[in-house]
Structure 1
Amino acid sequence: MDLALWISAVLLALVALAGGVTKTFVPRQKLAAAQGGGWTGDATDTFVRSLGILELLAAAGLLLPAILNVAPPLVPVTAVCWALLMTGAMITHGRRGESALAALNLVYLAIAVFVAWGRFGPAPFGG
């Protein structure tokens, strides 16, 4: 169980890192032209960049507290926050008729719920 939770957290952290770097450092106009990035055309630069920074923080929060053994309970808290972020992403993509992207967000949400459940419940760090 512990290994599955680690793999899941690493996968989510990589997804969050990729999304965070992209949203933080790629110009919004370029994101809007990319597949799946059309929603950024309707958002402000500040909003897109803020989401990117949140995703970078999520990438760190899914791994660093456990790796550094500094406040490891932040890992499942971060997973819950990621699940909330993915809920918003699903709604956004669903409203735009991007069902494949909404489904991918649902997968990420499910993985985040697994990490949160596992680390809050049967396999907490130090347990």
Structure 2
Amino acid sequence: MNLTLWIATALLAAVALAGGVSKAFVPKERLAGQHGGEWTRDVGVDFVRTLGVVELLAAVGLILPAVLDIAPVMVPVTAVCWVLLMVGAMITHGRLGQFGFVMLNLVYFALAVFVAWGRFGPEAFTG
């Protein structure tokens, strides 16, 4: 179970890192032109950049607290925050009729629920 939780956490961290880098560093106009990035047309550049920073922080919060054994409870807390972020992403993509992205976000949502449940419950870092 611990290995499965680490794999799920690493996958989520990779998704958060990729999304964060693209939103924080890729120009908004370029994001808006990509499939799945159409939502950026309706928001300001500061919102997109802030969301990118939040995703970068999520990537860090999913891995480093456990690896460094400094406040490892932040791993499931970050997973819960990712759940909330994915709810927003599903709503946003749903409004645009991008149901493939809704399903992808649902997978990320489920992984985050699994990590939060596992790290708050049976495989908590503190015993």
- AA in 1 matched with 2:110: A
Q: Return the alpha-carbon distance in structure 2 between the equivalents of residues 87 and 104 of structure 1.
A: 12
Under a length normalisation based on structure 1, what TM-score does the superposition of the two structures give? Answer: 0.99
Aligned to 2:30: 30
Aligned to 1:39: 39
Under a length normalisation based on structure 2, what TM-score does the superposition of the two structures give? Answer: 0.99
Q: Return the alpha-carbon distance in structure 2 between the equivalents of residues 105 and 44 of structure 1.
A: 22
Aligned to 1:109: 109
Aligned to 1:11: 11
- AA in 2 matched with 1:76: P
Q: Return the alpha-carbon distance in structure 1 between the equivalents of residues 87 and 126 of structure 2.
A: 30
Q: Give the percent of matched residue pairs that are identical in Structure 1 and Structure 2.
A: 65
Q: Return the alpha-carbon distance in structure 1 between the equivalents of residues 58 and 72 of structure 2.
A: 14
Q: What runs of 5+ residues in structure 2 fail to find an aligned partner?
A: none
Q: What runs of 5+ residues in structure 1 fail to find an aligned partner?
A: none
- Counterparts of 1:1-127 in structure 2, within 5 Å, are 1-127=1-127
Structure 1 SS opposite 2:97: coil
Q: Return the alpha-carbon distance in structure 1 between the equivalents of residues 77 and 126 of structure 2.
A: 16
Structure 1 SS opposite 2:124: coil
- Return structure 1 stretches of 4+ with deviation > 2 angstroms: none
Q: Return the alpha-carbon distance in structure 2 between the equivalents of residues 13 and 123 of structure 1.
A: 18
Q: Deviations over 1:78-116 (max 9, x none)?
A: 000000000000000000000000110000000000000
